[in-house]
Amino acid sequence: MPKDHGIGASPKRREDIRFLTGDGRYTDDINLAGQAYVHFLRSDVAHGRIRSIDMAAAAGMPGVVRIFTGEDFADIGGLPCGWCVTDRHGNPMQEPKHPVLAHGKVRHVGDPICAVVAETLSQARDAAEAIVVDIEELPAVIDMKKAVQDGAIKVHDDLASNLCYDWGFIEDNKAAVDEAFKAAHHVTTLELVNNRLIANPMEPRVAVGQWEKGTGDYTLYTTSQNPHVIRLLMGAFVLGIPEHKLRVVSPDVGGGFGTKIFHYAEEAFCTFAAKACRRPVKWTSSRSEAFMSDAHGRDHVSKIELAMDAEGMFTALRTDTYANMGAYLSTFAPSVPTWLHGILMAGNYKTPLIYVNVKAVFTNTVPVDAYRGAGRPEATYQLERVIDKAARETGRDPIALRRQNFITEFPYATPVAVEYDTGDYHATMDKLIEIADLAGFDARLAESKTRGKLRGLGVNCYIEACGIAPSNLVGQLGARAGLYESATVRVNATGGLVVMTGSHSHGQGHETAFPQVVADMIGIPEDMIEIVHGDTANAPMGMGTYGSRSLAVGGSAMVRATEKIIAKAKKIAAHIMEASDQDIELKDGKFTVAGTDKSLAWGDVTLAAYVPHNYPLKDLEPGLEETAFYDPNNFTYPSGAYCCEVEVDPDTGKVTIERFAAADDFGNIINPMIVDGQVHGGIAQGIGQALLEACAYDENGQLISASYMDYAMPRADDMPMFTVDHSCQTPCTHNPLGVKGCGEAGAIGSPPAVVNAVCDALQRAGKNVTHIDMPLSPARVWAAMNDATANEGAAQPAARSSGSAEGRSLGGQA
């Protein structure tokens, strides 16, 4: 019988009521008295030197308040990077300046040059059209491999080269890994592209800056996953506003998926301009602007090699990756191809020796940063693809090959610096085989054949690392921030309570799930608990929501604060009932004294805390409000096994997802309904990456996929119904809830399943296709089947150099 409340139940989401009735309050719904509107004039070339900006005509146009250029920000700090990677030689990465508005040069299509503030948005746009910017166009740096060659044109003239860093992990293991490859019985090699993507939350970014003349206080309303981080970064590093004079509010936010973690120029601009113009300034991104100003994701070109012995045991793994940073370093960009990628290269397997090399490269493209999964999908995709290829090359069953190499004893210290606390990879594989009905595959294959369709089956595993921590470790790894989370629990006199948390909710349902935990701990109804988040003025310093960390880290802080509340409430109850607080029990919202029939209701004690007439005032302060900061001592390690079944149309190359199943181990589950929804969404984004989505630049650095007409977002008719299961649970051992996090798993686990399935379908049809690069569009699949070249824009020219099947599938110049 499913639970109807508390941990493990699936109460309907309380936030849904306002979203379903049009009463949500998103940032663009905020309009302040007297606000002006800003429109950014953005570069339409990828690389160039700004010769002059003629604003004379624009300045006199109706409604224009003021036009800003990079000159206005000459004395202002640039946008900071929050993570410094140390390269394999022990040197810090190259870190370019990132001005709020372009200064001297433009470095990507979309780089903001001028900001026109006007009475109305239309007037701002009209005036921007009248500005004449004279740009000396320079050759665009697009191909990562060419970009790091000697003599290459530089994106940043004041840096030594376009190489941000050359990272080796673990450098001391490199020689041993190389030796293991020499001794290997079999080596499988695969070159692949992790295609550049755009997160595309449905709500475009918005910023509204405000400055109060009377107090000197600033407020920024912004579409952020972590308002406190924006307050710190923008206040301390860009505008020099002390945190106590700056409030950042992120109200309802329409999805983030990573791209709303970062601090963006438009936020700093609106805050700065609000004071400069003495009125609120609002910016609402159009979707077209979002494509060329939101941080992009992925964009790795990798070569992975897997060494095996004669029995099929993995003996060593080696990877080489070029990771695109874009034109500037976005807030957490350097950490994604390194720490969030390298530490996952062991996957679910006991490969003893691993070496990861990553070259991060500046190009004339939009900055690239974390997108759902961030580094972990890139690691999983390489590993799970090369294992599938290895199974095929050595005539092994891909599931059996995985199983024989599974890690089975925990805790397990990998050769890439992390220690998995718990997991049961055979259990999730067993569950997958059951829910995906692998036993019925042959019948489905035969049925597809009768319709002239090629059917294929792809299976893979994944592991991820969530709740990145502890702070002292990430500090050593280069993070310029802590990665704790906070919660304040404020109990009111009448017994209801408010949890103020640094975890932001933008679709994850915290307002429903968090109260389930607190309600269980105290034994009161969930509707007595309110979650407050998204406003630096009324939540304690918190690091926000990303990396599947909210429940594992933020939830743990909430548990710790609630434990303090309960401890204090027991003391109050003990005083009133004249007992020892050691003897007080709290259950179902009632305090009892062990071994007696004395009891007090929760509300009696909370009232006593605020009306302390019969109260131990000598020993205890009145009131009932506690704060906790929780800094985890390890990551959490969700894992699972995914299965995709596809049909390929042999005449057109079109791939249809027929079935998709996911068996995940997320540890303990608070709200199964919400967890299912998170997995569904992640899978859809992974299928989108595998089949549809390509953020493509041409050789001149023009973004040729900058609208929903050109960038193929997954639609309802691209998706099947999903079969998901999370009954395999090995609870996390080091957080109080035993939870692991579920937000990114779907996006991490699904792309290799899709590609494995398509390759399987083609192999079953007798086509010697071992790999096709994502997205597996009909043109690419058809070309691969017919040994032809797909004639479509390649997202990553650096991959074209190989004349392999991989190279051919990319199209263009192979």
Partner 1 sequence: MSKVSMRVNGRATSGEIEGRTLLVEYLRDTLSLTGTHVGCDTSQCGACVVHVDGQAIKACTMFAAEAEGAEVTTIEGMANADGSLNTIQQAFQDHHGLQCGFCTPGMVMSAAALLKDNPRPSEHEVRQYLEGNICRCTGYHNIVKAILAASGQDVSAIAAE
713 binds partner 1 (CB under 8 A): yes
Give the x/- contact pattern for partner 1 in 149-188, rule: CB under 8 A: ----------------------------------------
26 binds partner 1 (CB under 8 A): yes
CB of 12 to partner 1, least distance (A): 5
Of residues 6 and 714, the one with the C-beta less far from partner 1: 714
CB of 501 to partner 1, least distance (A): 18
Pairing mode of beta strands 454-463, 419-420: unpaired
Q: How far is CA 300 from CA 325, 334, 341, in A?
A: 10, 13, 11
Q: Which of 6, 9, 15, 639 binds partner 1 (CB under 8 A)?
A: 15
Q: Decide: 367 and 328 in contact? Cβ < 8 Å.
A: yes
Measured distance CA(260)–CA(741) in Å, rounded: 19
722 binds partner 1 (CB under 8 A): yes
CB of 268 to partner 1, least distance (A): 24
Residues 672-701 that bind partner 1 (CB under 8 A): 673-674, 676-677, 680-685
Of residues 508 and 634, the one with the C-beta less far from partner 1: 508
201 binds partner 1 (CB under 8 A): yes
Of residues 685 and 756, the one with the C-beta less far from partner 1: 685
10 binds partner 1 (CB under 8 A): yes
Measured distance CA(130)–CA(106) in Å, rounded: 19
Measured distance CA(620)–CA(107) in Å, rounded: 60
Of residues 191 and 725, the one with the C-beta less far from partner 1: 725
Of residues 286 and 494, the one with the C-beta less far from partner 1: 286
Q: Decide: 435 and 661 in contact? Cβ < 8 Å.
A: yes
DSSP string, 110-167: T-EEEEEEESSHHHHHHHHHT-EEEEEE------HHHHTSTTPPPSSTTSSSSEEEEE
Give the x/- contact pattern for partner 1 in 733-752, rule: CB under 8 A: -------------x------
Give the x/- contact pattern for partner 1 in 623-662, rule: CB under 8 A: ----------------------------------------
DSSP string, 619-665: TS-SS-EEEEEE--SS-B--EEEEEEEEEE-TTT--EEEEEEEEEEE
Of residues 707 and 768, the one with the C-beta less far from partner 1: 707
CB of 721 to partner 1, least distance (A): 6
449 binds partner 1 (CB under 8 A): no
User: What number of chain residues touch partner 1 (CB under 8 A)?
Assistant: 62
Q: Which of 97, 719, 765, 802 binds partner 1 (CB under 8 A)?
A: 719
Q: Which of 33, 56, 74, 202 binds partner 1 (CB under 8 A)?
A: 202
Q: Decide: 798 and 359 in contact? Cβ < 8 Å.
A: no
Q: Position 474: which residue type?
A: V
Chain center to CA of 406: 27
278 binds partner 1 (CB under 8 A): no
Pairing mode of beta strands 599-601, 412-413: unpaired
19 binds partner 1 (CB under 8 A): yes
CB of 590 to partner 1, least distance (A): 32
Strand, helix or coil for residue 523: coil
18 binds partner 1 (CB under 8 A): yes
Measured distance CA(26)–CA(757) in Å, rounded: 40
Q: Decide: 302 and 343 in contact? Cβ < 8 Å.
A: no
Considering only the stretches 326-334, 397-405, 412-420, 702-710, report the one whose residues sit in contact with partner 1 under the rule CB under 8 A.
702-710
Q: Position 339: which residue type?
A: W
CB of 686 to partner 1, least distance (A): 10
CB of 285 to partner 1, least distance (A): 10
CB of 136 to partner 1, least distance (A): 30
Q: Which of 235, 297, 456, 509 binds partner 1 (CB under 8 A)?
A: 509
Of residues 197 and 246, the one with the C-beta less far from partner 1: 197
Residues 241-270 that bind partner 1 (CB under 8 A): 252-255, 257
Provide the 10 A C-beta neighbour count for residue 374.
Answer: 28
Provide the 10 A C-beta neighbour count for residue 601.
Answer: 15
In the DSSP assignment, the letter for residue 93 is P
Cis peptide before 531 (omega within 30 of 0): no
State the Cα torsion 103-106-112-113 to the nearest 10°. 50
Considering only the stretches 19-27, 171-179, 442-450, 562-570, report the one whose residues sit in contact with partner 1 under the rule CB under 8 A.
19-27
Provide the 10 A C-beta neighbour count for residue 766.
Answer: 7
451 binds partner 1 (CB under 8 A): no
665 binds partner 1 (CB under 8 A): no
Q: Which of 587, 708, 733, 768 binds partner 1 (CB under 8 A)?
A: 708
Of residues 600 and 674, the one with the C-beta less far from partner 1: 674
Q: Which of 186, 245, 287, 403 binds partner 1 (CB under 8 A)?
A: 287
464 binds partner 1 (CB under 8 A): no
CB of 40 to partner 1, least distance (A): 15
Give the x/- contact pattern for partner 1 in 31-70, rule: CB under 8 A: x---------------------------------------
Of residues 352 and 677, the one with the C-beta less far from partner 1: 677
Contacts of 575 (CB under 8 A, 6+ apart): 614, 615, 616, 620
16 binds partner 1 (CB under 8 A): yes
Pairing mode of beta strands 186-194, 300-308: antiparallel
Residues 488-507 that bind partner 1 (CB under 8 A): 506-507
1 binds partner 1 (CB under 8 A): no
Burial class of residue 25, CB neighbours in 10 A (0-12, 13-18, 19+): exposed
CB of 138 to partner 1, least distance (A): 29
Whats the size of the chain, residue-wise? 814
Pairing mode of beta strands 48-54, 655-665: unpaired
Considering only the stretches 22-30, 106-114, 274-282, 407-415, report the one whose residues sit in contact with partner 1 under the rule CB under 8 A.
22-30
Residues 784-813 that bind partner 1 (CB under 8 A): none
298 binds partner 1 (CB under 8 A): no
Of residues 486 and 685, the one with the C-beta less far from partner 1: 685
Q: How far is CA 643 from CA 387, 432, 458, 466, 684, in A?
A: 15, 7, 6, 22, 14
Closest Cα partner for 488 from 562, 589, 567?
562
Pairing mode of beta strands 218-222, 246-249: parallel
Q: Which of 91, 149, 707, 786 binds partner 1 (CB under 8 A)?
A: 707
- Give the long-range contacts of residues 230-238, CB within 8 A, separation 24 or more: 230/263, 230/267, 231/536, 232/481, 233/79, 233/80, 233/82, 233/263, 233/331, 234/263, 234/267, 234/268, 234/271, 237/77, 237/79, 237/80, 238/76, 238/77, 238/78, 238/79, 238/80, 238/100, 238/263, 238/268
Closest Cα partner for 563 from 421, 738, 734, 737?
737
2 binds partner 1 (CB under 8 A): no
8 binds partner 1 (CB under 8 A): no
286 binds partner 1 (CB under 8 A): yes
State the Cα torsion 179-182-187-192 to the nearest 10°. 60
CB of 670 to partner 1, least distance (A): 14
Of residues 50 and 370, the one with the C-beta less far from partner 1: 370
Residues that bind partner 1 (CB under 8 A): 10, 12-13, 15-26, 28-29, 31, 122, 200-204, 252-255, 257, 284, 286-288, 506-509, 673-674, 676-677, 680-685, 707-709, 713-717, 719, 721-725, 746
